Amino acid sequence: MRFIHTSDWHIGRQLHNQSLLEDQAYVLDQIVTLAEQHTVDAVIIAGDIYDRSIPPASAVALLDEVLNRLITELGLQVLMIAGNHDGHERLGFAAKQMAASGLHIIGPLQADLTPIRLTSSSGDAYFYPLPYAEPATVRQVFEADAKGLSVSSHEEAMALLLEQVRSHDSQGLPKVVVSHCFLDGGSESESERPLSIGGADKISPRLFSEFDYVALGHLHGPQYKGSEHVRYSGSILKYSFSEQHQHKSVTLVDVTAHTPAQIQLLPLTALRDVRIIEGELAHLLDLGKTDAKREDYLMVRLLDKHAILDAMGKLRSVYPNVLHLERTGLMAGEQAVALNRDHIKKGEMAMFRDFFSQVSGEELSDAQQAVMDEILTKLHRDEGDSGGSTRVVAKGEQSA
């Protein structure tokens, strides 16, 4: 069976208050074209279909158009799971009715894992969809406390879910796991919303090594961990300036029983790139007049050490999509800002631990830290992306 593995579409996302819907439509059109060109049997989307639990109507319309082209026009099967950005119940609405058309949507986690057998002329395969679920959700769904099961971390939760995959008789057909999670050692980007605080979200890649292919979502850079077949496809676009050097793609996979999966990356081309440029204003203004990529989304780091009137306006006269400005030259001597920035980088838990120690004279107990972990995780989960700004900041500081 041949399929495309993709994830982290984040339809409806903004980059520093700039809508990316046009950019997303441009690259999703490429995915449909690649699916047709490579005569795939299915498209697998490993979570974060939308960027928020209640997506805007324009995002829903775009997804509807893409799915119609894949399923109705090309006759492909599509399987997608909910990620941590998605509203599980909303995404899974009418999933049972749509399965007959070839669209398999897995929203909320269910106690009984239902393997999905996808068929093709070259051979069938079983797919095991595991939507994103926090340990507390897994405990509740599986009644872990009543059964005496320990499910306090994401790894323990995933181990419990994978037991059902291992026990299922695939009748010799390949087993493909589809999951949205954070593998230990994975390379992160700033655009990924934390799944947990304090490292409890990390899962060992070894849990997945025995399956024929593992289609993962959550990390935005294409990569594999542990084994080449345990793989993140990465996001379809660069969703932060920290991703400027990443090369976006989807993964073309061929799985056959008793044979290692054949894997190929299919590059995606963005309508506008996301990149960082730096230099003095006069040089950048001169450069922008002939820059063939001046429509790209830009972060600009100005090296001028003197005050400049309306620097953003001047830059946008040649680079219309400057989204963020840093006055690195002007702020280079501000040691206090640098110290404060380093303190912020310690993270919320580390700062609270320092504060607690200074006030009480004691270290946080394990129980107290667990409570804070839960509180901070909930805050991160409920917190929507603020989009960012074009304010002047110190070198190295990132906008919200």
Distance separating alpha carbons of residues 348 and 254, to the nearest angstrom: 43
- For the chain, the average pLDDT equals 88
Task: Report the SS3 class of residue 90.
Answer: helix
Architecture of the domain made up of 2-267? 4-Layer Sandwich (3.60)
* Phi, psi for 225 (deg, rounded to 5): -130, 135
pLDDT at 87: 92
pLDDT at 144: 85
Tokens of 142: 């599986």
Hey, how many other C-beta atoms are within 10 angstroms of the C-beta on 229? Answer: 20
Q: Above pLDDT 70, what percent of the chain?
A: 88
The DSSP secondary-structure symbol of 237 reads S
Q: Which amino acid is at 176?
A: V
Distance separating alpha carbons of residues 348 and 353, to the nearest angstrom: 9
In terms of C-beta density within 10 A (0-12 exposed, 13-18 middle, 19 or more buried), how is residue 78 classed? buried
pLDDT in tens, 237-285: 999 999 999 999 999 999 998 899 999 999 999 999 999 999 999 999 9
Please, what's the b/e burial string for 104-131 (b: 16 or more CB within 10 A of its CB; e: otherwise)? bbbbebeeebebbebeeeeebbbbbbbb
pLDDT at 107: 93
pTM above 0.75, yes or no: yes
* Better pLDDT: 134 or 382: 134
Q: How far is CA 32 from CA 48, 67, 214, in A?
A: 18, 9, 22
User: Angle at Cα 396 formed by Cα 326 and Cα 24, nearest 5°?
Assistant: 75
Tokens of 325: 């400005």
Average pLDDT of the residues in 72-82: 97
pLDDT at 395: 35
Q: Is the dihedral of CA 311, 315, 321, 323 positive or negative?
A: negative
Computed over its alpha carbons, how large is the radius of gyration of the chain? 23
Distance separating alpha carbons of residues 301 and 278, to the nearest angstrom: 4
Average pLDDT of the residues in 151-155: 91
Q: Rounded to an integer, what is the distance from CA 230 to the centroid of its chain?
A: 16
Give the H or E element holding residue 147: helix 144-147
Query: With bands split at pLDDT 50, 70 and 90, how would you rate the model's confidence at 286?
Result: very high
Torsion of CA 276, 236, 53, 77, to 10 degrees: 180
Tokens of 315: 């830059």
Residue 302 scores a pLDDT above 80: yes
Average pLDDT of the residues in 34-44: 98
pLDDT at 196: 55
pLDDT at 390: 38
Q: Tell me if 3 sits within 8 A of 42, measured CB to CB.
A: yes
Query: For residue 266, what are the β-bridge partners?
Result: 250
pLDDT at 233: 97
pLDDT in tens, 341-400: 555 545 677 778 777 765 666 788 888 888 888 888 787 776 654 444 433 333 333 333
Q: Read out DSSP for 25-74?
A: HHHHHHHHHHHHHTT-SEEEE-S--BSSSS--HHHHHHHHHHHHIIIIIT
Q: Which amino acid is at 277?
A: I
Q: Above pLDDT 90, what percent of the chain?
A: 68
Distance separating alpha carbons of residues 271 and 292, to the nearest angstrom: 13
pLDDT at 378: 80
Hey, how many other C-beta atoms are within 10 angstroms of the C-beta on 363? Answer: 10
pLDDT at 163: 93
Q: Which residues contact 178 (CB under 8 A, 6 or more apart)?
A: 44, 46, 79, 81, 127, 128, 129, 130, 214, 215
pLDDT in tens, 181-206: 999 888 877 776 666 544 567 899 99
Query: With bands split at pLDDT 50, 70 and 90, how would you rate the model's confidence at 334?
Result: low
- Range(s) within the chain of domains with CATH label 3.60.21.10: 2-267
* Better pLDDT: 175 or 147: 175
pLDDT at 389: 40
Average pLDDT of the residues in 1-30: 97
pLDDT at 292: 94
Residue 291 scores a pLDDT above 70: yes
The DSSP secondary-structure symbol of 302 reads E
